[in-house]
Amino acid sequence: MPDVSEMIADLAKGFATPSRAPILHTPDEYGLAYEDITFPSQDGVPLEAWWIPRRGSDKLVIANHPMQLNRYGVPSNLPQFAIPGGNDFEVNYVPDYKNLHEAGYNVLTYDSRNFGHSGAANGGLFTWGLYESRDVVGSMNYVKSRPDTRGMTIGLLSRCMGGNATFRAVSRYPELFADVRCIVSPQPIAPRAMAERNLEMMGAPDKFGDLDRQFKIVTSFTIDQLSPLESAGNCHIPTFITQVRDDVLTTPSDVQSIYDALPVEDKKLFWIEGSTARWDGYTYFVKHPEQMIDWFDEHTK
């Protein structure tokens, strides 16, 4: 059995260089016509994407994904992709896109750098939304460059890490997002919250300093430098956040602090009850799309 120092080193590596998951489902399996497309991130990293058009609609949702997942989701029902805390079932986002399509939305969804089929970047490092924010910028630049999408009404579906990345992108380039009508952000998270919960599960709750040092050795950043809290405080776009209240991988206070930091009056926080699995927050809208659709409909009139 590895000692605590080895476990902490492995945890730091997992936080900084998560593995890529395969793409096991595509939109055509759900009756959706789509195109495989690619576009550059702000810094030129090639991003692989699906364009799912809705004929006759001038409304668009741009969707991204959490850490370890990709535009499809993640096959966590396979042992090599299961996550502790009951997150051992598949997350398949394609039904999300079908729900949006049926509600009248075009959908653009992409793999962030170092995930899915998109390009490797920054030495393969995952930065909890910092460098990934360049991919959010790239997606906005792309839709503004296409003659058929540049005039569309835009909403963002920014999940977990994708939410963190969106807040950073909006904070850095508010003019680029000035005409974005709203954001739906399932489960944004500060890495400290997840780090502390993992250390508790390892029986080493007093070892955050050790983990932080190991993480900086791998990434050059401290864990708190990658918090989304400050950038959330610069996001003036109407935002709907959802979160599994008893998620074993974070704390309610972390999500509440992100929500509280949003300086916009038009915001909403919905707690998902009756589960401890983070993955239930990722699949909630797949099963219960009504609140998501209502939020986009209300803000894209």
Give the residues of the chain that fall short of pLDDT 70: 1-2
Using a cut of 0.85, tell me whether the model's pTM lies above it: yes
pLDDT, tens only, 260-292: 999 999 999 999 999 999 999 999 999 999 999
Domains and CATH numbers, the chain: 4-299 (3.40.50.1820)
Q: Dihedrals φ, ψ of 188, to 5°?
A: -65, 155
Q: Which two tokens stand for residue 212?
A: 């932080």
Q: What is the pLDDT of residue 2?
A: 65
Q: What is the pLDDT of residue 3?
A: 84
Separation CA 22–CA 116 (nearest Å): 6
pLDDT, tens only, 12-64: 999 999 999 999 999 999 999 999 999 999 999 999 999 999 999 999 999 99
Residue 153, phi-psi category: left (phi > 0), alpha (psi -120 to 50), beta (remainder): beta
Q: What is the pLDDT of residue 193?
A: 98
Q: Dihedrals φ, ψ of 112, to 5°?
A: -70, 165
Separation CA 101–CA 26 (nearest Å): 14
